Amino acid sequence: MKSYLRPLGQSELKLSPLGLGCWQFSKGQGTVGKFWPSMDDQLTNDIIATSLKGGINWFDTAEIYGGGESETAVANALYSLNASPQEARIATKWWPLMRRASSISKTIDSRLAALRGRPIDLYQIHQPLSFSSVENQMKEMAKLYEKGLIKAIGVSNFNAKSMKKAHAVLQSYGLPLASNQVKFSLLDRSIEGNHVLETARDLGISIIAYSPLEQGLLTGKFHHNPSLVEQASGMRKFQKKFSEEGLNQTRPLIDVLESLGNKYGVSASQIALNWIISYHGDTVFAIPGASKVSHAQENIGALTFQMTKDELEHISYMSWQVIRNKLAHK
């Protein structure tokens, strides 16, 4: 696979199939941000520099990632690297819980301040729970677009019905809904069964897959060294999928990723990421997070090879086997 840029939905943005997930840069702040340990500026800069050099041209952050800490960390790194806004696009998100749609316009200056004036390329509604309707949220987003404050509009964690609604409202303003950012990995394929993927395809909306490595599980590192689970940050050590039983259930999939990795001279993570951004054509982008430079270095390698259709189908088959086996043992 060549590291080419794809249009994000029907927007004017052209993005690399992989972006960098920047939740990890929350500085350990806030309820959501404390999932990841605080990271120093030098490490953040190095991860971002490695990603840019490897062909990534966009960074996914959010207001809720440390109340702006992640946005500022991304902006600081991009300034220190002299990366222009065209080379390094920014996707961020408005947090809707316990808020009304009017807060989208009221808080845009804080977002731009957190981003130290760097432009917002994609502005997303982080999740569907809000005091306001999707219609009112999209109207506010359209206002920001018309004022030139954002370049494209997206949603996140929206089901097919809400995504359709958002699309229809924006259409009445002559604007596209560029993307829906949802969880999608070889261990979570819900969007293929709940009409989200199908609707997105029908309407020309891109899918942005978050947690594409299932928070590290699909790298195989926990299968090879289960003692790493104890050191894993956030809720991972309490989740069944990271337990001994969970790891045993997913091991056959890791074996397949590793054996295909041997053929291409790449790792299980690279195979998993390559599958995510290839299996559904150009519809799916992915935003793996990284807490080490080596993660970023490895993950960008997923852009450098192309598997055959049969191989992609074989991975798909094994992934369904493991998912069904897990469900059978719930």
Ligand X SMILES: NC(=O)c1ccc[n+]([C@@H]2O[C@H](COP(=O)([O-])OP(=O)(O)OC[C@H]3O[C@@H](n4cnc5c(N)ncnc54)[C@H](OP(=O)(O)O)[C@@H]3O)[C@@H](O)[C@H]2O)c1
- Write out the residues near ligand X by the rule CB under 6 A: 21-24, 60, 126, 156-157, 181, 210-216, 219, 221, 232-233, 269, 287-291, 295, 298-299
* CB contact set of 193 (below 8 Å; sequence gap of 6+): none
Instruction: Rank residues 107 and 173 by Cβ distance to ligand X and give the closer one.
Output: 107
Instruction: Rank residues 155 and 170 by Cβ distance to ligand X and give the closer one.
Output: 155
Helix (H) or strand (E) holding 90: strand 89-94
| Residue 193 Cβ vs ligand X, minimum distance, rounded to whole Å | 19
| Residue 103 Cβ vs ligand X, minimum distance, rounded to whole Å | 18
> What is the dihedral sign for C-alpha 49, 87, 112, 138?
negative
Instruction: Rank residues 42 and 172 by Cβ distance to ligand X and give the closer one.
Output: 42
Instruction: Rank residues 291 and 304 by Cβ distance to ligand X and give the closer one.
Output: 291
| Residue 30 Cβ vs ligand X, minimum distance, rounded to whole Å | 14
Count of Cβ atoms closer than 10 Å to residue 131 Cβ: 13
Q: Which residue has the tokens 């950012």?
A: 181
| Residue 29 Cβ vs ligand X, minimum distance, rounded to whole Å | 15
| Residue 209 Cβ vs ligand X, minimum distance, rounded to whole Å | 8
| Residue 228 Cβ vs ligand X, minimum distance, rounded to whole Å | 8
Instruction: Name the percent of the chain in helix, strand, coil, to the closest 5.
Output: 50, 15, 35
Instruction: Rank residues 173 and 232 by Cβ distance to ligand X and give the closer one.
Output: 232
> What is the dihedral sign for C-alpha 150, 155, 160, 166?
negative
For residue 118, give the DSSP letter: P
| Residue 197 Cβ vs ligand X, minimum distance, rounded to whole Å | 16
| Residue 144 Cβ vs ligand X, minimum distance, rounded to whole Å | 19
E-strand ranges in 171-294 read: 177-183, 206-210, 284-286
Q: Is 89 helix (H, G, I), strand (E, B) or coil?
A: strand
In whole angstroms, give the CA distance from residue 313 to residue 293. Answer: 31
Instruction: Rank residues 89 and 221 by Cβ distance to ligand X and give the closer one.
Output: 221
Count of Cβ atoms closer than 10 Å to residue 310 Cβ: 8
In whole angstroms, give the CA distance from residue 147 to residue 214. Answer: 37
CA angle 174–172–210, rounded 5-degree value: 75
Instruction: Rank residues 71 and 298 by Cβ distance to ligand X and give the closer one.
Output: 298
Residues 92 and 71: beta-carbon distance below 8 Å? yes
Instruction: Rank residues 162 and 181 by Cβ distance to ligand X and give the closer one.
Output: 181
Angle between helices 244-264 and 309-328 (to 10 degrees): 170
